[in-house]
Structure 1
């Protein structure tokens, strides 16, 4: 009798596992969407008012980039933590209640690793990654970790109303920093050209050092035998701002 009881228990347990496993595995392996706050077009014309808090943004990703209310520096999101690289080039931790006017995040899961060879310029890095992607028509999240021979990065100071266009801020106020033999992580995305009206088409990276003390928006660099971890994003979602500045902006 005990043997029969154990057998029935084993059968029931196996049946339960078989019924639950497909749903569980589907949840684990479900591709993560990219999630974007506002549009590049709005940022370009000076819509720097915050659209959502970092606490809310955390619900949509643990990896990404962007900026902060008032265009106050560069955002790096890595391993679920948010960093603000201000105009002094220093990375600061950020409180959950801080707002962002423009950002893009995802829950990063490495899908493939691309081993690139040689001492590459930034253009060569982009070319080699692009040649190994299965299609040019989908967004990708890209993480590159290691020691970099040379990186040129920038940040911008916080703006005050009335906000100037982004091009004026970059051309007149950006602070550029050159880093050599620096260890850290590049956090970024590659988006297809058809998304150029809403986000940066092509490659967009922000950098943070391994000690989480410095970084910025990547402008140029040299990369020695880098390894690029890549995830394909088959869904790209957007949250549009619910404030007057966005509603009244000229985005045609």
Structure 2
């Protein structure tokens, strides 16, 4: 009888051990699958990555690619809107200036008018974020563009972070531009802006929308300030070339995370990037 009981006990023990090993294997297999992580699913982890964190600067393509004539739209505005309610960029074929403010996207064409944008329109280059001000500053003294940028630089916690910049103010003068749609074979941006339309606004109120990016991202984005303008009634604007500001309020959104998607086909695959960046940028900003 004792031998039979011992035999039954050993059989039961073997079954338990085998079952335990199977469970452990399953658990190990399940844990190993977590290495395939979708960055967009990571939220509130402290890494600053994911749609749950609003302090992410999202960018499609690079400014260098745009400088070299990569103008084909690759991302619909409807998709871009899921990454930000504030930002700047351009549209398929380099047709006009993009400006996003308070969740509304606009296309400023060569007539200077700001048109509402449909979700089906595409962009070859854009930078957006969900704007939430971290710092606010009152601007009481008149300032030109250089002086305004210098004032904002003094307020930065660090020059090595990304900042979304919003300035609501009264302007005695603003010089802005928009570039017409380009046709293939696309010229470089420095050549495309030779056909730009320039607008001059006087004694007008409105909003500057844009970003300040660190010097070390040259080629990825515009080092320093890149600003677009839209009037208070949201009817006109353009890419800012110069300004004279009377007074207003500046807001900075400190953005410590940067996420970029690159084109996966088309001209981007073959263009030579990193060529004469500084010279091309200087031509574009005139």
Q: Same fold (TM over 0.5)?
A: yes
Residue of structure 1 equivalent to 2:120: 97
Residue of structure 2 equivalent to 1:204: 226
Question: Runs of at least 4 residues of structure 1 off by over 2 A?
Answer: none
TM-score normalised per structure 1: 0.86
- Does 1:215 pair with 2:234? no
- CA-to-partner distance for each residue in 1:201-239, whole Å, 9 max, x for gaps? 000111111211110000000112332111100001101
- Does 1:243 pair with 2:270? no
Judge conservation of contact 2:89–2:127 (CA < 8 Å) in 1: yes
User: What secondary structure, in the 3-state scheme, does the structure 1 residue paired with 2:171 have?
Assistant: strand
Judge conservation of contact 1:51–1:243 (CA < 8 Å) in 2: no
More relative contact order, 1 or 2 (CA 8 Å, 6+ apart): 1
User: What secondary structure, in the 3-state scheme, does the structure 1 residue paired with 2:95 have?
Assistant: coil
Give distance in 2, aligned partners of 1:117 and 1:128. 12
The alignment covers a number of residue pairs equal to: 227
- Does 1:108 pair with 2:131? yes
- Does 1:87 pair with 2:110? yes
Matches for 1:140-159 after TM superposition, within 5 Å: 140-159=163-182
Structure 2: gaps (5+ residues): 1-43, 275-286
Judge conservation of contact 1:38–1:51 (CA < 8 Å) in 2: no
User: What secondary structure, in the 3-state scheme, does the structure 2 residue paired with 1:197 have?
Assistant: coil
TM-score normalised per structure 2: 0.76
How far is the alpha carbon of 1:146 from its aligned partner?
2.3
- CA-to-partner distance for each residue in 1:45-81, whole Å, 9 max, x for gaps? 1000012000110110000000000000000001111
How far is the alpha carbon of 1:30 from its aligned partner?
4.5
Structure 1: gaps (5+ residues): 1-22
What do you get for the CA RMSD once the two structures are aligned?
A: 1.8
Give distance in 1, aligned partners of 2:264 and 2:152. 37
